[in-house]
């Protein structure tokens, strides 16, 4: 019942949800990394960088992605711009 889904704001088809969930789960399965481990790695990365550079912990993003059968861990670490800091 597509019209009911739209009325109730349920935009996504269940097969789309299934595919997204599978890709997420398989990314972890293939790299043999548990989802909780990523959060701990993120904390470790923030601590290491923060020893030398000013980092905003809330804007750091660490993601695990998979293309075909290869996995990769990518960290985005926005740095505080010195000129913007209060004198």
Partner 1 sequence: MHAKVITVTSGKGGVGKTTVTANLAAALAMLGRRVVALDADIGLRNLDVVMGLENRIVYDLVDVVEGRCRLPQAMIRDKRFPELYLIPAAQTRDKMAVSPSDMVLVCDQLRQDMDYVLIDSPAGIERGFRNAVAPADQVIVVTNPEVSAVRDADRIVGLLEAEEHGPGQLIINRLKPQMVARGDMLSIADVLDILAIDLLGVIPEDEDILVGSNRGAPVAMNGSHSASAGQAFRNIARRLEGEDVPIMELSHQGGLFGRLRAWMSGR
With binding defined as CB under 8 A, does residue 19 bind partner 1?
A: yes
Interatomic CA distance for residues 68 and 78, integer angstroms: 28
In degrees, rounded to 5, the angle at the alpha carbon of residue 67 between the alpha carbons of residues 61 and 69 is 125
- The length of the chain in residues reads 87
The 40-79 site mask, x for binding partner 1 (CB under 8 A), equals ----------------------------xx----------
For residues 59-78, one letter each, b for 16 or more C-beta atoms within 10 angstroms of the residue's C-beta and e for the rest, the string is ebebebebeeeebeeeeebe
Binding region for partner 1 (CB under 8 A) out of 9-17, 33-41, 51-59, 78-86: 9-17
Member of 21, 40, 56, 61 binding partner 1 (CB under 8 A): 21
Residue whose token pair is 């009325």: 7
Member of 6, 23, 40, 57 binding partner 1 (CB under 8 A): 23
Q: Which residues are at the interface with partner 1 (CB under 8 A)?
A: 13-16, 18-19, 21-23, 25-26, 29-30, 68-69
């Amino acid at each position: 019942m597509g019209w009911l889904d739209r009325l109730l704001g349920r935009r996504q088809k269940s097969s789309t949800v299934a595919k997204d969930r599978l890709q997420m789960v398989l990314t972890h399965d293939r790299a043999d990394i548990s989802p909780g481990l990523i959060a701990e790695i993120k904390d470790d990365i923030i601590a290491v960088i923060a020893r030398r550079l000013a980092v905003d912990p809330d804007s750091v993003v660490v993601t695990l992605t998979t293309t075909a059968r290869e996995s990769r861990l990518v960290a985005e670490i926005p740095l505080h711009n010195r000129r913007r800091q209060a004198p």
